Structure 1
């Protein structure tokens, strides 16, 4: 029986859970009651997509979980959906050739995006990001944890930060609230204060690809004296053009980080 993220069944205790075949059913029920989130016993979960009863582990019904737009076939570099998996898509191959001629490389080594930005994630992510739906954020973090459990482990996770003015308006940093449970569930250090957004930029959703890159030029910096490991993963909610991740990764690389990957919940097609 699956349990919520960060939850495991308690160890068996002599005299309480240790028994023979006559009490197997009782033992199983004790494990369930002692190991479950108490809130789920009082308020059974509801699917955040359709409103039907949710599963024991997620605020998502089985049908909606099966319908999630999983990014099974993607570019190994930028995670854009492809007809079949490939080490790099055409755009990444052209970009790598252009960067090689300039004697440089991409600041982000690889992107992992478990899902495509399509229904129902195109409703859940905006609800979380713009409408204070923290329950949707918890569900998204759980889905990311499940999907990224087998991904190569970095030395630490770093959430893509908001500028302090936007953080004041929104009240929470959506990337940090995804990264915190992800780090806890996967047993990875979380470095939340080293990377800062140095200026308030325009909303990326309103800009073209070229304007996004200009908008984010020198928008991130590493705090003086911050100690960073050799391999880190940037965590964010959605990747569209990758301009935000590239700008954040460039700041980390300038500070001495050898490899920067990115984990995002969803990739736009």
Structure 2
């Protein structure tokens, strides 16, 4: 068994770790780790993405079990795998989890992004700001929408109540697909003065060929 006791070493070897060269901004695979074409044309507001896995079987089923099936111990295992990927030479000042709308939080009972962010912040000795940002619109789930509709769905979805002037901020979420949610949250923290913004995610959705 792994030291987390959640899956064995053979299963861990079968997980889709994101080990191929990839775009530093959005973590999509690129031939030699250069910026992808999309980020060159439309740079995201976050300058770097760290992802532990590609969002593929069987990792996708584990993420869904954490997110919708109350398998909360998985969050600690995911946070451990993600923390191992974080370069220690240039750590940010604070960690902000992707917020849920209060109605969604009441329905689900927990925010999986906070469950990921808290142990990462402890491991790396970073300030955790769990209530710095809020979701001010109860948006439709991004996974229920076509990719092209996701940016519009997240427009003005977030607010930020703390002064982040000059801070290096990291945003933590479970899965990065189009980047619409993280970009909208990044816009909210940038408006409050954040100087640098990174995204740390458990998994990156990859093109089908990967």
With normalisation by structure 2, the TM-score equals 0.92
Q: Which runs of 4+ in 1 moved over 6 A?
A: none
1:1-269 residue pairs with structure 2 within 5 A?
Answer: 54-72=1-19, 73-82=21-30, 84-96=31-43, 106-148=44-86, 150=88, 152-223=90-161, 226-228=162-164, 230-269=167-206
Whether the aligned pair in 1 keeps the contact of 2:4 and 2:77 (CA below 8 Å) is: no
Structure 2 gap ranges (5+): none
Larger Cα-atom Rg: 1
- Name the structure where strand makes up a greater proportion of residues: 2
Whether the aligned pair in 2 keeps the contact of 1:76 and 1:88 (CA below 8 Å) is: yes
State the shift of 1:55 in Å.
Answer: 2.3
Whether the aligned pair in 1 keeps the contact of 2:49 and 2:200 (CA below 8 Å) is: yes
Structure 1 gap ranges (5+): 1-53, 97-105
Q: How many residues align?
A: 204
| SS at structure 2 position matched to 1:113 | strand
Whether the aligned pair in 1 keeps the contact of 2:25 and 2:39 (CA below 8 Å) is: yes
Structural RMSD (CA): 1.5
State the shift of 1:58 in Å.
Answer: 4.5
Instruction: Find the aligned partners of 1:241 and 1:152 in 2 and give their Cα distance.
Output: 26
Whether the aligned pair in 2 keeps the contact of 1:230 and 1:258 (CA below 8 Å) is: yes
Query: 1:17 maps to which residue?
Result: none
Whether the aligned pair in 2 keeps the contact of 1:114 and 1:148 (CA below 8 Å) is: no
